[in-house]
Chains A and B, each alone.
Chain A
């Protein structure tokens, strides 16, 4: 199945009130790829992430997932098509334990594969296993990020959306998380669409990348191409990468 388009975003425009946040964005994510979307603060990266999930809704353009038009679909039904997200700010359930958070991720299948999948998550993030009975809100930032990704994985997604998984984390933890994403992609063939400010790490990890400026996609190419591109280097990489 490698190579077929899984997520197709065509000419999407999103508004916050009268302010246009996305200006006709075109992005494709193919089966088995890791695609990175990089850009500065306020470029519209997270808005695109949220628009895929229908909150806020695109005012123009279409979003197609695995052949289904999801542009107008309610958020929870989009999730049921096996699109999982680790949203910006992680959004774990702070007063529920690690285990309960993971259970919430598996609620789509009513915990059918729970035992099996929870072991997979613990194999990927052994730290979570140590914290199993602890409340989500008492975890460190890195652990919360791991939990957020783990929770998303519990739904057995076809497409994993990650919104800034490296935000506010120590370089060592960022490396752990990026390694885990790479591992998921390699061993399970999981398709990942990732939004990042950490352009260097994201582009090194990604098969392909897009650069977003002011609600427009201005550049695209393979991860290596973009890393070598002088404009990208000047805007996002020079001055010390993370």
Chain B
């Protein structure tokens, strides 16, 4: 047995023995990783001196849990999964008719979205529904819209944009400034904010036309930071880090107002009880309509020459040019269209918050939006919506987990674990579904019937 380091060795060793070994390794790695994170903790004592708290028991628990988990996974879960796979392969290949839910996924989704606020009001009353409509519904839908907008740039045209939040900021500040200074209505400023963001999309597009991939990503990242720094430092206009407050509310298409002091206040006009919930519900349907607009435009554009050109550009720029496609204008339209939806979302965000500050437009936001696009499966609207629901809804739900305090003690704040869970979820999804939730790309041209192209044919990380 001289050749102990042959790759075949794993096959020969009985699974339990291998699992035992792997478990030990995993435990050792966990020990090395966590000894400083968990085993030791710095703290302050009563006289404000720095002391080291030792938590060997907790460390031991984590290490043992890791080792046992790996042992069980390699020893039992993995062989079981392989057996199941082998049996599946043996069984005659039946093309399973997709279930009802899967077939009508989009329709069901739309109906649920339309009924959601009504259901919340019925379940929790007007006051109780506020949280669910606002923190969950509106928050998630803003990210859905942003991710769908970014999807045009990244998913369709294949231009990696790490500074998308810049356009969101442009839209938000466009509404905030013009709304507070000139008292213009949201309905005028919404398209104006979109145009403004699209303009900046083109401004960004011009210098980066020659760049691709990593280089493009770096420049867009810088662009996002530039916009944020301009907002912070241009105090005369933007009021710097203090932000702009008192941004006017959206009116009900100019007919009714949501301000209690306004003579046209909705409750007075309709003779119903006063409640802040009307505005939230209205905003919910507004952002939902904006989302539908984004989806509709994306779907239509994909079937038009420009959308096809975007996708072709993502695949092969040289081939595109030799087919007579002007890659310059194609890239610029992608940037402009994506940025426009970012601007729409931004002005909505400003109207909903009533306050904007540079804090809301940090790089992390760009990263989260991009993560949603990648997790959802680039180019797939449904997948992206699900990813936004999981990511944003998931982090929001952490606030609701107060009961965990009973388990982990009163110091436990689940919100602090937001980024940890976010990262973990991302790693898991990427391992389990490297092409995102929906990896298949629906062709835009058909001979007779629609047939989705399986995700296994797509390059990883692409739609």
Contact = CB atoms under 8 A, between A and B. Distances in A.
A104 B451 contact: no
Given A79-B322, A107-B324, A107-B325, A97 B445 contact: yes
Given A93-B311, A93-B316, A95-B459, A107 B323 contact: yes
Interface string A28-62: 00000000000000000000000001010000000
Given A100-B443, A132-B447, A155-B323, A91 B308 contact: no
Interface in B276-311: 305, 308-309, 311
B462 A155 contact: no
A224 interface: no
B308 A133 contact: no
A154 B115 CA distance: 48
B324 A80 contact: yes
B380 to A, nearest CB: 13
Contacts of B323: 79, 84, 104-105, 107-108, 151, 155
A11 interface: no
Interface of B: 305, 308-309, 311-312, 315-316, 318-327, 441, 443-447, 451, 453, 457-459, 462-463
Given A79-B324, A87-B319, 18 more contacts: A53-B321, A53-B322, A76-B325, A76-B326, A76-B327, A79-B322, A79-B323, A87-B322, A95-B459, A95-B463, A96-B312, A96-B315, A97-B453, A100-B445, A104-B308, A104-B312, A107-B325, A155-B324
Contacts of B325: 76, 104, 107
A95 B315 contact: yes
Contact of B446 (A75, A80, A92, A99): A99
A68 interface: no
Contact of B319 (A77, A92, A97, A135): A92
A103 interface: yes
Contact of A108 (B316, B319, B324, B446): B324
Contacts of A133: 443, 446-447, 451, 453
Given A87-B318, A91-B316, A103 B308 contact: yes
Nearest to A129: B447
A145 interface: no
A91 B312 contact: no
B308 A55 contact: no
Nearest to B445: A99
B319 A91 contact: yes
Given A94-B315, A133-B443, A133-B446, A110 B305 contact: yes
A108 B319 CA distance: 13
A108 B316 CA distance: 17
Nearest to B324: A79
The 6 lowest CB-CB distance pairs between A and B, nearest first, are: A79-B324, A93-B315, A91-B319, A75-B321, A99-B445, A108-B324
Q: Which of A79, A93, A138 has the most chain B CB atoms closer than 10 A to its own CB?
A: A93
B309 A107 contact: yes
Contacts of B305: 107, 110-111
A144 B315 CA distance: 15
Interface string A186-228: 0000000000000000000000000000000000000000000
